[in-house]
Amino acid sequence: MAGPYNGLRVVDTTGLAGAYATRLFAGLGAEVIRLEPPDGSPLRYLAPFAESIAPPENSLWWSYLAMGTRSVVIEPDNNDALAQILSSADVIFEDRLPEDSLISPDLVPDTTVRTSIVPFGLTGPKRSWKSSNLVAWAASGVLYATGFRDRAPVAPAGHVQLALHASAASALVGTLLALRARRKSGEGQQVEISIQEAALAIAPETGVPVFLDDRVHRERSGNRRDLGRPFGLYPCSDGFVSIIVLLPRHWTAMASWVAEATGNETITEEVFEDLGVRMETQDLIDTWVEELTVGQSRQELFQEGQRRGIPVTPVNTVNALLDDPHLKAAKFWSETQLPDGSSVAVPGAPFRTNADWWTMTAAPLLGQHTEFYLE
Amino acid sequence: MTNSAIELPLEGIRVFELGTAIASPFCGRLMAHYGADVLKIESKVSPDVVRILGSAWLRDRDDLAAAAPDTSPYVPEMNASKRSVGLELKTSAGRNAAMGLIAECDVFLANFGARALTELGLDYESVSAVNPKIVYVQLPGFGSDPDMPYYSYVAWGPNQAPLVGFDDFTGHASDPPAGIATVAPPDYMSALHAAVATLSGLEHRELTGDGVHVDVSQFETTLALLGPFVMDYDLSGTVHSRIGNRSLWGAPQGVYPCAGHERWIAISATDDESWDVLAALMELPDDHFNDPDQRLSQQEQLDSQIGTWTVDFDADDLAHRLQSVGVAAHVVSTNEDLLHDTHTMSRNWYQVAPHARLGRDVFSDCAVKLKGTPGRWTDAGPSLGQHTREVLRDVAGMSDEEISQLVTDKCAFEQLEPETLVPRPWDDWIHLLVPGTADARDL
């Protein structure tokens, strides 16, 4: 069968805050129409760009996030065209407050689900504040607690835009729930995502209930974490590996590995089986573990650590991922075509099903579907 | 609190959840909030990590050991509004009881390792044999195909982030990778994808009458967020890596010091409009940075100039000033700042609900908000094993005698010492945190 949302019409007017949602929606079968202004969606102006292609078709953000969607250009004052498109929309995604929206409520049928993804929500003293991925992490407590102690705080995986993708994914969940409610009631409704709250929701570690409980002021602790030892990133011959040892069996395996590889018998002494003792002697433990890691590569440490049942993973860079043997064997990577006809690798379906749900097509050219929808 | 006349989107849906820590529990909680009856199957032999964490103020209270598994703040953050069923799945009677429940469920949700699920006889084939219409959603670290290279690898805690490249992307360009161990976006992103998969599965079942198997490999799911960087490498060989807080799209964007110890402000002024008002506020003597390309190519100088300006301001005051002229900015909030955030408070971001052990408890709301059919929080727990008897009786149709026998044989367990009640030390001032709950003690 085609995706479960085959036959559903979705109109997307958002930029980055909603794009990941409508990409998924399209993959699951929905007909997603991206309404673009004559000079194109803001997504079309985001680097990195494909060098061989001219704007506004060269943004890789657009080429990735707009996959599976259709592009309709509407002139700013063409209300008839807007009304025509909206009259058949099951869902509208927006990233503006109602007073700034281009879509007046009388154009939206009662049966339409209207999903708004806005920086600080539709209510509250900061409702008109602006945001960005960085600002969202700042307002969630995560930014303050990430990075090295003597350096300015840093956002987690900054340019990946995780806070915005979390907002988009949350918006899709809300939209699917609202469609389910519509089946029972026959009515559409407003779905609301505050980008600040989407970030807060995925970071209870730095949130108020946890703080009330332990009253520990969260500080940055660099790339090691004071929950255990070894715990965090350790240097190796071609970068870093991540080692997370909390469970007793993980420690036992770790200690024998270090002993076998470096001749350090002291590390296997019983006293270090106590997590408290390892925390008190953390500098020593880290030094011993580094004696093991510095001489080997990420892949060597990954394979051998995992063989021993220890949660060791490489700190991968993008190039290593495209060569990763598991992803290759699982045929995870897919391809899309850019406007100049070249093929490029992209992530495949985000999950797998025994039913045939996922379909994808290349991102549309600016206005590629205008005629189809407006003539 | 709840308008019972409104039918919630997931009312009538029952979920069998085998979850630990975040990825599956966070998805289950979302479903419970929107009306699903989520049965959290728990073990005392190998408990969910949130049951082991306990609570800081309870650490030396041996007299309250029975209450300890209920007191971690992560219990409601991941499990509010679910029912807790104590079943030892490694015993055959416990597993049989679980199968009795599965037969009555619409959704099977699990983030146990794929191999562990198979060993328990709870892989898709076994479960769908009992309930062919089940929407089966699993979230293993590396997928459920035993022929794949990392199938048996340990996906433990925050080690998915380094693997997918997030850790390398985190930190200032001149520093070693800072990593993101403080939080676990891959877990939560997997949970949100699992929610999409579950709702899609229910839709699929409505349309076709069939169940479905969804395999959310957390490795692959998280990689789906890296599209543009994968493409750029494939096209041009560019290996993107960490760039601190800067943006590829314009400058300035960064975190700048403010007055006081460890006070910072985050500012994004990457477009011309924002820059113009920021420059006016800063009263820059020349128009050197009016050109966006200059701003991008001379970020070091630009950032240092902004930092020199911000350092005398109170961070919160400056954020208000910047936002009032249309520049995206926010104080880099500490825990203390979040406790006093009047905006989140005005939106009731922290919620309170009754709790069988603590009386009541506070936890974060759901970021997904539906105006017409708002979700509800029925329980800030659940307490470990609180609903074993009622669920086995009402859902699986077991008799009280059969249930007692299961408990005696240690194949199931009920809530320990239900008479041991212990409010949190800060229970008396919950109303300061959650507006409108001054009289909520009789919730």
Instruction: Write down the domain spans for chain B.
Output: 3-216+348-442, 253-339
Question: Which of chain B's residues have a Cβ under 8 Å away from the Cβ of A128?
Answer: 323
Query: Could you tell me which chain B residue has the CA closest to the CA of A187?
Result: B372
Cis peptide bond prior to A48, omega within 30° of 0: yes
Residues 6+ positions from B62 with CB-CB distance below 8 Å = none
Q: Which amino acid is at A210?
A: V
CA distance B51 to B40: 12
CA distance B93 to A73: 62
Do B339 and A211 make contact, defined as CB atoms within 8 angstroms? yes
pLDDT digits (tens, 9 = 90+) for B304-315: 999 999 999 999
Supply the ipTM of this predicted assembly: 0.97
Q: Is the pTM higher than 0.90?
A: yes
Question: Which of chain B's residues have a Cβ under 8 Å away from the Cβ of A317?
Answer: 165, 168, 239, 241
Band of residue A125 on the pLDDT scale cut at 50, 70, 90: very high
CA distance A70 to A90: 16
B92-102 vs B400-408: helix crossing angle, rounded to 10: 140
Query: Could you tell me which chain A residue has the CA closest to the CA of B205?
Result: A4
DSSP-based three-state secondary structure for A268: helix
Band of residue B440 on the pLDDT scale cut at 50, 70, 90: very low
CB atoms within 10 A of CB A215: 12
pLDDT digits (tens, 9 = 90+) for A290-308: 999 999 999 999 999 999 9
- Residue B5 is predicted with a pLDDT of 66
Q: Does an H or E element contain A353, and which?
A: strand A352-353
What distances in angstroms separate CA B373 from CA A94, B6, B31, one per listed residue? 20, 6, 13
DSSP category for residue A69: E
Residues 6+ positions from B392 with CB-CB distance below 8 Å = B85, B97, B100, B101, B398, B402, B403, B406, B412
Q: Which of A41, A194, A223 would you mutate first to test chain B, the one with the most B CBs within 10 A?
A: A223
- Residue B57 is predicted with a pLDDT of 87
- Specify whether the CB–CB gap between A45 and A69 falls below 8 A: no
Q: Does an H or E element contain B37, and which?
A: strand B37-42
Q: Which amino acid is at B427?
A: D
Question: Which of chain B's residues have a Cβ under 8 Å away from the Cβ of A51?
Answer: 235-236
List the structure tokens of B7.
Answer: 């039918």
* Strand partners of residue B136: B108, B213
Instruction: Give me the CATH code for the B3-216+348-442 domain, please.
Output: 3.40.50.10540
CA distance A289 to A267: 9
Q: Give the gap in angstroms from C-alpha B385 to the nearest C-alpha of chain A.
A: 23
DSSP-based three-state secondary structure for A181: helix
Of the candidates A60, A201, A158, the one whose C-alpha atom is nearest the C-alpha of residue B268 is A158
Q: Give the gap in angstroms from C-alpha A326 to the nearest C-alpha of chain B.
A: 5
pLDDT digits (tens, 9 = 90+) for A306-346: 999 999 999 999 999 999 999 999 999 999 999 999 999 99
Query: Could you tell me which chain A residue has the CA closest to the CA of B33?
Result: A177
* Strand partners of residue A11: A33, A92
Cis peptide bond prior to B425, omega within 30° of 0: no
- Specify whether the CB–CB gap between A243 and A254 falls below 8 A: yes
Do B370 and A190 make contact, defined as CB atoms within 8 angstroms? yes
CA distance A349 to A363: 16
Q: Give the gap in angstroms from C-alpha B87 to the nearest C-alpha of chain A.
A: 23
Residues 6+ positions from A81 with CB-CB distance below 8 Å = A74, A75, A374
Q: Which of B3, B55, B154, B274 would you mutate first to test chain A, the one with the most A CBs within 10 A?
A: B154
CA distance B10 to B34: 6
Residue count of chain A: 375
Question: Which architecture does CATH list for B253-339?
Answer: 2-Layer Sandwich (3.30)
Select from B56, B168, B371 the Cβ nearest to the Cβ of A189: B371
- Residue B4 is predicted with a pLDDT of 55
CB atoms within 10 A of CB B155: 23
Question: Which of chain A's residues have a Cβ under 8 Å away from the Cβ of B233?
Answer: 318-319, 322
Q: Give the gap in angstroms from C-alpha B94 to the nearest C-alpha of chain A.
A: 26
Do A65 and B227 make contact, defined as CB atoms within 8 angstroms? yes
The yes-or-no verdict on residue A151 having pLDDT over 90 is yes
Do B373 and A177 make contact, defined as CB atoms within 8 angstroms? yes
How many whole angstroms from its chain centre is CA B287? 45
The yes-or-no verdict on residue B76 having pLDDT over 90 is yes
User: Tokens 């094993």 correspond to what residue?
Assistant: B385
What's the mean pLDDT in A217-235?
A: 91
Q: Which of B370, B428, B430, B434 would you mutate first to test chain A, the one with the most A CBs within 10 A?
A: B370
Q: Which of A150, A177, A322 would you mutate first to test chain B, the one with the most B CBs within 10 A?
A: A177
